[in-house]
A and B are shown apart, each in its own frame.
Chain A
Amino acid sequence: MTELRYLAPDTLDEAVGAFAKAGSAARILAGGTDLLVQMRSGVLKPGVIVDIKKIPELTAIEQTTDGGFRIGAAVSGMALAEHETFGKVWPGVLEAVNLIGSKQVQGRASAGGNLCNGSPAGDSVPAMVAAGAIVTVQGQDGRREMKVEDVPAGPGRTNLKPGEILVSFTLPPRPPGSSDAYLRMIPRTEMDIAVVGCGVSLTMKDGVVTSARVGLGAVAPTVLLVEDAAKALIGSRLDDAALAKAASACSAACRPIDDKRGTIAYRTKVAGVLLKRTAAIAAQRAQGK
């Protein structure tokens, strides 16, 4: 029977002020597809909700001057899917964002919410990590930038400081021969949560991988950047030996738990399987096949 205040400021400054003022009782509302579920189930009882969808910067998709993309934290999956060029440049990020929930959920759910929810199984996060996304956050002390992989702190927790709001994701420009992919393992075909999620971003020249990044989800308390897997891929032609080495690196990076969604042994094995499959898709796309 606690009172709930709903605020929908038009500017980021207002939002930051209101969010900081309300302290720990406040929650940010982007799409609300996690927040409202948590409220209905009684897990969360916020006193103040700050809706950030009225702030233009948070719902904008922009191409940066250097050819990268800046995506507002509250951009919905559907809005991102409808963007003319984003999906051509970052098909892996887009497919990961579009895997969150159902069609109906996609009309609201955002990559920003997915990241700040702090779930190790969030689908967009491994793809963003593989993409090398940088996030902009704003608090009362001003703006700062963080690597996306530095945002999650553990299940349900982030490294954002009290009062800070996630503003946007910035994805770097893409050299020719680059692409990415995301795959997740779920027991069903849809409407499920990743047992393992894997994002791979590659740049290739003449069939050789010149740069690579690998993100792994649902195998540790936070989404992981697996540098050893990337190292195994770089310089290779994605031959079986390189893929096997990268897959082993993914399995080795896993620190999963046994839970209702999967066992330690299962997740560890699947992380390697998904790496191989995801890398193959990313390579096909990078080479324009």
Chain B
Amino acid sequence: MNVVTNNKWIGQRTIRPDGMDKVTGRAQFAADTTMPGMIWGKVLRSPHPHARIKSIDTSKAEKLPGVKAVVTSKDIVDFPIEKGAVMLGIQDMRWMCRNVMARDKALFPGHPVAAVAATTEAIAEEACKLIEVDYEVLPWSIEIDDALKPDAPILHEFNKFDGKPSNIVGRLEHKKGDIAEGFKKADVVIERTFTTRPVHQGYIEPHACLISVAPDGKTTIWSSSQGQFMVRAMTAYLTGIPQSDIRAIPAEIGGGFGGKTIVYLEPLATLLAKKSGRPVKMVMTREEVMRATGPTSGSKSTVKIGATKDGKIVAAHGTFYLQAGAFPGSPIRGAAGCSFTPYDIPNLLSEGYDVCSNRSKVAAYRAPGAPIGAYAVECVLDEVAEALKMDPLDFRLKNAAMEGTKAAHGPVFPRIGYIETVEAAKSSPHYAAPLGDSHGKLRGRGVASGFWFNAGGESSAQVNITEDGNVVVTTGHPDIGGSRAGIANICAELLGIDYRRVSVIIGDTQTVGFSNLTGGSRVLFASSMVVTQSTEKIIQTLRERAAKIWEIDPEAVKWENGAAHPASPNAGQFEPLTLEELAEKAPAMGGPIGAGVQLNTQGADGGFGTHVCDVEVDVDLGIARVIRYTAVQDVGRAIHPGYVEGQLQGGVAQGIGWALNEEYIYTKEGKVDNPGFLDYRMPVCSDLPMIDCIMVEIPNPKHPQGVKGVGEVPLVPVMAAVANAIYNALGKRFYALPMSPPKVLEVLEAPTQQAAE
């Protein structure tokens, strides 16, 4: 593959193709779609954390005037547990069918038990109240420690761990060397236990869909998701309608961050539409989003790291317990697999435990699991560096993974850019700057690093030259991070034309080839591969057409600056033929010009980042604020630097929220007590400083433009960077998130209380 150099468009901060629509309010999100005859669907949800559903009587609801259809779990295709896993990506349909609608048991408050479609939202809500559910209320547990107690209520009785019914539904480990031997060589060993609370992805757009099922079964879905093909496949599985009959049209997406990689409403709305014969629209309330859609796991992690006096890590052991929620599937792979990966550690054991408990099923959240694990590991590293009296960045450099290092999760690294991120952090203006005047508050600085796998996978693209010589690129990935702008830059670069002549759209499931989810930081990596290959095919066609017109050999035609030029020995003999001219001549020269490519892309390299964070703590109120932040990341090649920086800044903003204030709070009845943005405190703009970005560009050698995924790494180091900065400010370590004002003040006051006792 030829790496493009001397770029005109790659690396430019071009105007985003979706920008005008979004700032003017024209962009169509899922809830903006309507259809003639449309009716409204609502979900009846379990009020109980854990209850056996003995019976459901929907007869009164069905009789309410205006009600057009009612569905329960009987209408959803069952995937019996004993028949084994039916996987769609990382989701097991046995759990998906039970998550979209409770079958024998309701497993969290908010778990759907029935759905109604009626002519108005108010009637649908009224009808939900008329559904009689006979629950046998069961004991429940939400916190990891409670779910692991010997007498804990078991969510899934079939599941056994160590031969006994258990809420531990999965375990994995990565191992290298012998940790017992390794720790013997250590001069300093530090072991700490950390907890984190469940946090929500916090997308502004609630889940929404409009679904029409025609009498012949042809189904059209308009919805907001991170993958229209995922929506189609899951809906097909759960309703029994073949995929060929389901056209899933992706709406603009108002945030996903991983949380829109599964379905909640689409199967229910499809069944309601099928039963009623009317298009059905469903829009979640914020409260439903907070109660019933995936936050990520709460966690309990224990990390032990041993190092020699000269600063070499000789052994490390991490144990990560993650809440899966109601069904198996917490991101233990990210926690156990990523947390130690920036380091070359000869003896390592990293274990993950997947724990079910009575809260909503987790959904992916930006580098799922990795920030949880990195929080624990990077905080312990800070303590080890302190014990060794080493600068924390020097300590990381001394142990950094590099080309040839074997990661515990398997791969031997190719050329990676981790060391460069640490060096860039170390030589940054931020790291050199004094902490500054604190106006009576305490200031501190912390650093942390992070790693995320990044993904490749299936992508399809079709590139067509329009009759007037412009370009339409169709890809199959919802654009949540700027992929349209990136693709336009690449396609314009390859064709040598102005990027405004390239229109990039996202096709629906029946008009573009299969494309896997927008997730794993994979979209620009994968889609630019298929777009590049498609565009190269088009350039080949254009050269052949010009050669035919000039009656010379195609190999003697070169494509440059948007036109075919005769190359030596014919150089200068013919006037160049532009893309417009060749498009105009297309009908006579063999027909329309276009090409599509479909690939299961390979070669996505993992990504590394190193962050520097300054905090200021108001010690009387316990308020910690981040006052300066620099995110350094190996971004491969920044195709659109503005969007890359946007990803880095967005990840940091979410991490600061996770570190300082965001958390699911539960009532003593086991219900989420803060299901809205008032009391689930994500940061607002004024809570954050301008987040500085340093993009280290080590091109991915396995990608035509050198692209690496960039979207998830920037969340991974944040909580540890903030925690380490707060320690530096206060001299006190925090082992639990969030470090919210009451908790900070409690720790600050602790010695005084002891003195008083």
Contacts and interface: CB of A to CB of B under 8 A. Distances in A.
Contacts of B660: 187
A46 interface: no
A189 interface: yes
Contact of B684 (A188, A260, A270): A188
A131 B623 CA distance: 28
B141 interface: no
Contacts of B740: 187
Interface string A254-271: 000000111101100110
B687 A1 contact: no
Interface stretch (B222-230, B714-722, B741-749): B741-749
Given A185-B621, A188-B683, A193 B678 contact: yes
B679 interface: yes
Nearest to A1: B122
Contact of B742 (A189, A191, A262): A262
A137 to B, nearest CB: 30
Contacts of B679: 193, 260-261
Contacts of B464: none
A267 B490 CA distance: 56
Nearest to A277: B620
A13 interface: no
Nearest to A196: B621
Interface string A223-264: 000000000000000000000000000000000000011110
A1 B125 CA distance: 10
Contacts of A195: 741
Given A193-B678, A273-B620, A263 B684 contact: no
A269 B233 CA distance: 55
A86 B674 CA distance: 37
A269 B122 CA distance: 46
B621 A191 contact: no
B156 interface: no
Nearest to A264: B742
Binding site secondary structure of chain A? loop
Max chain A Cβ within 10 angstroms of own Cβ: one of B287, B673, B742, B749: B742
B741 A269 contact: no
A151 B462 CA distance: 68
Interface in A176-232: 185, 187-193, 195
A15 to B, nearest CB: 29
B746 A187 contact: no
B277 interface: no
Contacts of A188: 661, 681, 683-684, 686-687
Interface residues of A, number: 20
A273 B621 contact: yes
Contacts of A266: 622, 741-742, 745-746
B126 interface: yes
Contacts, number: 54
B739 to A, nearest CB: 11
B673 A260 contact: yes
A269 to B, nearest CB: 7
B700 to A, nearest CB: 39
Contacts of B686: 188-190
Contacts of B746: 263, 265-266
Contacts of B622: 266
Given A188-B661, A260-B674, A1 B126 contact: yes
A102 to B, nearest CB: 9
Nearest to A276: B620
B123 A1 contact: yes
A277 to B, nearest CB: 8
B687 A189 contact: yes
Contacts of A190: 684, 686
Nearest to A191: B684
B683 A269 contact: no
Max chain B Cβ within 10 angstroms of own Cβ: one of A1, A193, A260: A260
Given A192-B681, A273-B621, A187 B661 contact: yes
Contact of B621 (A1, A260, A261, A270): A270
Max chain B Cβ within 10 angstroms of own Cβ: one of A41, A193, A266, A270: A266
Nearest to A102: B684
Given A187-B661, A260-B679, A269 B745 contact: yes
Contacts of B684: 188-191
B198 to A, nearest CB: 14
B186 interface: no
A260 B665 contact: yes
Max chain A Cβ within 10 angstroms of own Cβ: one of B123, B126, B665, B684: B684
Contacts of B678: 192-193
Nearest to A261: B679
A133 to B, nearest CB: 27
Contacts of B625: 189
A187 B749 contact: no
A252 B105 CA distance: 49
B135 to A, nearest CB: 22
Nearest to B749: A269
Nearest to B683: A188
Max chain A Cβ within 10 angstroms of own Cβ: one of B287, B674, B678, B683: B678
Interface string A1-14: 10000000000000
Nearest to B620: A273
A269 B742 CA distance: 10
Interface string B670-694: 0001100011010110110000000
Contacts of A189: 625, 684, 686-687
Interface string B565-587: 00000000000000000000000
A187 B123 contact: no
Nearest to A41: B287
A265 B752 CA distance: 14
Interface in B716-757: 740-742, 745-746, 749
Contacts of A263: 742, 746
A41 B285 CA distance: 9
Contacts of A41: 287
Nearest to A267: B742
Interface in B653-670: 660-661, 665
Nearest to B122: A1
A195 B741 CA distance: 10
A187 B686 CA distance: 12
Contacts of A185: 621, 623, 741
A263 B749 CA distance: 14
Contacts of A273: 620-621
Interface string B93-125: 000000000000000000000000000001100
Contacts of B126: 1
A265 B742 CA distance: 8
Max chain A Cβ within 10 angstroms of own Cβ: one of B126, B621, B673, B686: B621
B666 to A, nearest CB: 10
Nearest to B619: A273
Interface string A139-183: 000000000000000000000000000000000000000000000
Given A192-B681, A261-B679, A266-B622, A187 B745 contact: no
A98 to B, nearest CB: 15
A185 B678 CA distance: 15
A189 B656 CA distance: 14
Nearest to B741: A187
Contacts of A262: 741-742
Contacts of B665: 260
B271 to A, nearest CB: 25
24 contacts: A1-B122, A1-B126, A185-B741, A187-B623, A187-B660, A187-B661, A187-B741, A188-B681, A188-B683, A188-B687, A189-B625, A189-B684, A193-B678, A260-B665, A260-B673, A261-B679, A262-B741, A263-B742, A266-B622, A266-B745, A269-B749, A270-B620, A270-B621, A273-B621
Listed from nearest, the 10 A-B pairs whose CB atoms lie closest are A266-B742, A189-B686, A273-B620, A260-B665, A263-B742, A260-B673, A189-B687, A260-B674, A187-B661, A191-B684
Given A265-B742, A266-B745, A270-B620, 4 more contacts: A41-B287, A185-B623, A188-B686, A190-B686
